[in-house]
A = this chain, B = another copy of it.
Amino acid sequence: MVRFFVKPEELNNQFIVLTGQNAAHAKVLRLRAGDQVLVCDGLGKEWVCAVSDVSSGQVSLVVKGMRESQAESSVRVCVYMAFPKADKLEHVIQKATELGADEIVAFPSARCVSRPDEKSLQKKLERWQKIASSAAEQSGRGKVPSVLVLKSYEEALSRASLADKAILFYENEQAVTLRMALQSGPYRTVSLMTGPEGGLEEAEVEKARKTGLQVCTLGKRILRCETAPLCALSAVMYDAGEF
C-alpha cells in the first residue's frame, strides 16, 4: 500500500486531508476514490485509509483503522557516526534508515576533516532529515529516524553509553567481537559508534572504554567509514532475529 507521512497534529481518527507534497505525490500515483492508502505519523503508528475525494491540491481520506507500524524493529538501534567527508553522511542516513535505525547521530572527533559550521548546520540538518523521511517512505517504515548532530565527542559517548549495548568499533581491537558483545545478555537498545576516515585516536578509544562502551572489531578487513556502520547495523538486525 502507498504510504504518506503526515505531521502528527494533522492526524485524527476519522478524516485526514493530504496537502502539499503529499497531494502532489498522490496525483502522480493517480489515486482515485476508493483506493486504500497508509498514513503514518512517522513515530510508529499508521492509519489505514480510503480515498474519498481527490481535488486540486488536496486528497481527502476516510480513516478505516489505526495500528502500530508492522515494519519497525523490536530493537532500537542508534547509529553514531563521526562526521565523514561530503556526501558519505547522506549515504549512511539513507541506508541506515532502510536498515531500520532508530536514530542517526553525527558527532565530531579528533581526526574529522569535515564538520559543518554553525551557520550551515540548520540547513544541512533539514536536508538530512528529508533524506531520512524519503528513505523511510520508500522502505515502508512507520517511523522516520531522527537525525541529530552533537557538539562534542564526549557528549556522543555519554549519550551512546545509555543503551543496553553500547559498542564502539575500532580497527585495532582484535579480540572482542560484536557477537560477544551482543550475546552477553538480552538487549532492546543498541548504540553503534564508528570513527571518521582517519580513524579514532587511541586516547579517544580509551575515553570510550571509561564511559562504559565496549570496544569491538568488525573483522579482519578494514572497512571504510561509511561501510562500517551499515555492516554493524545489518549484523545487529540479523542477531535480533529480524531476518
Contact = CB atoms under 8 A, between A and B. Distances in A.
A237 interface: yes
B227 A235 contact: no
A100 B218 CA distance: 11
A138 B224 CA distance: 9
Given A98-B221, A140-B221, A238 B241 contact: no
B243 A179 contact: yes
Contacts of A239: 238
A217 interface: yes
A239 B238 CA distance: 9
Interface core residue of A73, A140, A223 (most chain B CB under 10 Å): A223
Contact of A221 (B141, B235, B241): B141
B99 A221 contact: yes
B98 A223 contact: yes
A220 interface: yes
A227 B139 CA distance: 11
Interface string A199-243: 000000000000000001111111110010011101101110111
Given A72-B220, A98-B224, A219-B243, 7 more contacts: A139-B221, A177-B241, A219-B242, A230-B234, A234-B234, A235-B243, A238-B238
24 contacts: A71-B220, A95-B227, A99-B221, A138-B222, A139-B221, A140-B221, A140-B222, A177-B243, A178-B238, A178-B243, A179-B238, A179-B241, A216-B243, A219-B237, A219-B242, A219-B243, A230-B230, A230-B234, A231-B237, A234-B235, A234-B238, A235-B238, A235-B243, A238-B238
